Structures are given as C-alpha cells and as structure tokens.
Amino acid sequence: MNCSACYDLLLSPLERRFLSACRSRLCAGLSGQIVEAGAGTGLNFSHYGQHCRVLAIEPDAAMRERACQRANSHIEVVAGRAEQIPLPAHSVDHWVGTLVLCSVNEVAAVLAEARRVLKPEGRLHLLEHERGSAAWGRVHDLLTPAWSWLSGGCHLNRRPRLSLEAAGFGLDSWETVFRVGGSPFQMGSARSV
C-alpha cells in the first residue's frame, strides 16, 4: 500500500462522519473554471457538478496517480504547486482548497497566486483546520513539528482565517463545522477586496 492509499484509509473515519458532507456543501453550485489546489487523492472530485471545468493541481506523484483514477472528463489533474498556477490572470471563477493551507510551505504566496488567477467576481472556497484556542492551541504548537514530519507537512497550528484576511480577502462566510482533538475545522468562502 503506498502513502496515498494510507491517506485515504487514515482519513476514512473522518470522511464518513464529517468531511464528505463538507466537501459536498463546499462544491455545491460551483460552475465555470475551477482551480483545486493540492487535490490530494481527488476526494472532492465526485462532488463537482457537470458545469465545472476543474484544473486540479497536486505536487505529490502518488497522490496525483490516485487522483487521476478518480478524475472524469471535466477534471484535469496536473503536477504543480498552488504557488504557480498555469492559467492567466483573472481567468478562474472558483479556487478550491480543502485541508491544503495546513500543508503548503508558503501560505501567503499561495493566497497571492489565488488572487492573481481569480476573476474580480471570483470566489475562494476553503475547508481547513485551525489552531485551537487556549490550552489546545499550546498543545497544537508543541505537536506540530512531530505531526508535520509524520504527516508529510501538515501544521496543526495555522490560522487560515487570519491568513485570508492578511492576503486581502474578504469573507463571505466562515463557520466551524466540527472539531477534532481541539482543532476547529472551518469552512467558508471569500473574495478579493
């Protein structure tokens, strides 16, 4: 079993309990040109509707291979990084990221690139976990170096909402959808302001 199969297996309890419904909500009603950053094994793909043209970017070869198996004719999976999207400026209707800002090296560079490709009326959609508050936050700070090493780069102590605001996005919606191990999982959408 390679690491992409492990990813699906490890995530499956959360997927069944919470994530699949969140992915479905996040993708509902999207249409036009979509960029999915860090598509992983393609767990969002079955939630996109027929009117979506999805460019799914994934740097990890094993994850990408599994994503290709889940792709359909509306979805193109490419190697690359969210810091450099192979599309012109202002050409994208929706930028989608699920559990990805926790894993990228440079959150600010990824969000700047999302702003570059999004149309003025375009939207960014995120599902992310955030550093817990108070004692949980300190636990997440302590665990992050080991967890990041074990999980291939995931940081438990990021604050996606603050990163969005710092990058010049205004929130249309933002809510905590469930909690695991003191981490609020949050989803919402935002636009360039």
Contacts with ligand SAM, residue ranges (CB under 6 A): 37-40, 43, 57-60, 63, 81-83, 98-100, 103-104, 153-154
Name which of 150 and 170 has its Cβ closer to ligand SAM.
150
Rounded to whole angstroms, how far apart are CA atoms 146 and 57?
Answer: 26
Name which of 97 and 122 has its Cβ closer to ligand SAM.
97
Name which of 13 and 170 has its Cβ closer to ligand SAM.
13
Nearest approach in angstroms of CB 144 to ligand SAM is 14
User: Residue with the closest Cβ to ligand SAM?
Assistant: 40
Ramachandran class of 40: left when φ > 0, alpha when ψ lies in -120 to 50, beta otherwise: left
Nearest approach in angstroms of CB 175 to ligand SAM is 18
Give the DSSP per-residue string, 105-139: S-HHHHHHHHHHHEEEEEEEEEEEE-PPSHHHHHH
Nearest approach in angstroms of CB 119 to ligand SAM is 21
For Cα atoms 144, 147, 152, give the angle at the middle one, nearest 5 degrees: 115
Q: Which residues pair with 90 in a beta bridge?
A: none
Nearest approach in angstroms of CB 83 to ligand SAM is 6
The arrangement of strands across the sheet holding 118-129 comes to 75-78, 52-57, 32-37, 92-98, 118-129, 183-192, 169-180
Name which of 6 and 170 has its Cβ closer to ligand SAM.
6
β-bridge pairing 92-98 and 75-78: unpaired
Nearest approach in angstroms of CB 134 to ligand SAM is 25
